[in-house]
Chain A
Amino acid sequence: MLRITAGKVASAMRGSLGVTSTRVIAVRQHGTEESAEAFDSRYEKYFARDGIDGWEIRKGMNDLLGMDLVPSPKVIESGLRACRRVNDIALAIRWLEGCKDKCGDQKATIYPYLLEKISPTLKELGVPTIEEIGYDKPELALKSVYDI
């Protein structure tokens, strides 16, 4: 019932507000499984979109790093380029760290593979790897809030 009503409301909205059909397609339906390739290309496109801002990049990255998966190298590259477009290198480094963290207990096998795939992009953009910047080990100890 809800589905039928929602469908009717959506079609009515489409008619009155002129919502483009691409957005409607992006909505996943019940019972359909999105393939890994489709998922990757969806996020690749999301980060590659013209005029994406830091807000949306953070939203996409937060979502991806909250999922039970390791982002594929293409998605990581796309995210890095998005960071370049909004001129935020901190975001790029944090994104790399997050992707490394998503490798979990398989860091020894998956992370070198990721690094190998994305290193051309890293070199092109001038983003240091986590090892180069020295963030693979704790750099600073945090002062207790009671001592500040």
Chain B
Amino acid sequence: MNLLRFAGVRLPGAGRGTDRVSTISRRFTHHDATRAMGGGRELVGYGINGTPCYIDCADFPFPAIRYRVVDSAICALREKELGDWKKLTLPDKKLLYRHSFCQTYAEFQHFTPEWKLAVGIGLWSTAIAILIALIINSAGYDEYPETFQEERRQAQLRRIIHLQIEPITGLSSKWDYSQNKWK
């Protein structure tokens, strides 16, 4: 119901409130949205999953739309392009190329210093994580309970041996009860 309303479909039994919504909202079909995505650029291919978006990528060098919006200058040049290509000057050819594509192969495959940013962000986040760990360790926790004192732990060990806990393979098996010392 709601879905239909947002699609701009006028429902016969709908009340006044919904009636207003349906008159305001435009009917968006799949094709309108995809066309709007291209921003008025010439749709020249299928592209990626039929989406009219531009991308420079060696795996997929021919995107679905031309890069630039059509204007009068490019129209004149396209007219000239219909004729012999030998009559086109080099700047003309470059302009036609840049109308269709944003970057050349050499440009989009050029090594960029982006790795510095990646390394920087990585080091900064590691430093912040270490700092947080240090702060929590120094100020974030309560003191150890008294059972952690060396004296009490020794007493507990004595009691474990006295009760003969794990006598086959465990702790007490290492205690020699006849000699009263460790084996």
Contacts and interface: CB of A to CB of B under 8 A. Distances in A.
Interface string B32-50: 0000000000001110000
Nearest to B108: A142
Given A87-B82, A94-B101, A55 B44 contact: yes
Contact of A55 (B45, B85, B104): B45
B62 A97 contact: no
A97 B93 CA distance: 14
Interface in A50-76: 54-55, 58-59, 61-62, 65-66
Given A54-B45, A59-B46, A128-B93, A91 B62 contact: yes
B85 A98 contact: no
B35 to A, nearest CB: 16
Nearest to B78: A87
Given A128-B90, A138-B106, A89 B85 contact: yes
Interface residues of A, number: 34
A48 interface: no
Given A100-B105, A125-B85, A126-B85, A90 B99 contact: yes
Given A127-B85, A133-B94, A97 B61 contact: yes
B110 A54 contact: no
A137 to B, nearest CB: 6
B11 interface: no
A140 interface: yes
Given A58-B46, A88-B100, A90-B99, A137 B62 contact: no
B58 A101 contact: yes
Interface in B100-114: 100-107, 109-110
Nearest to B67: A90
B127 interface: no
Contacts of B106: 135-139
Contacts of A97: 61, 104-105
Interface of A: 54-55, 58-59, 61-62, 65-66, 84, 87-91, 93-94, 97-98, 100-101, 125-128, 132-133, 135-142
13 contacts: A54-B45, A55-B46, A58-B62, A59-B45, A62-B60, A65-B60, A84-B85, A94-B100, A100-B105, A101-B58, A125-B85, A126-B87, A139-B107
Given A90-B96, A94-B97, A142-B103, 16 more contacts: A55-B46, A61-B62, A62-B61, A65-B59, A93-B97, A98-B58, A98-B105, A125-B85, A126-B88, A133-B97, A135-B105, A135-B106, A137-B106, A138-B110, A139-B104, A140-B107
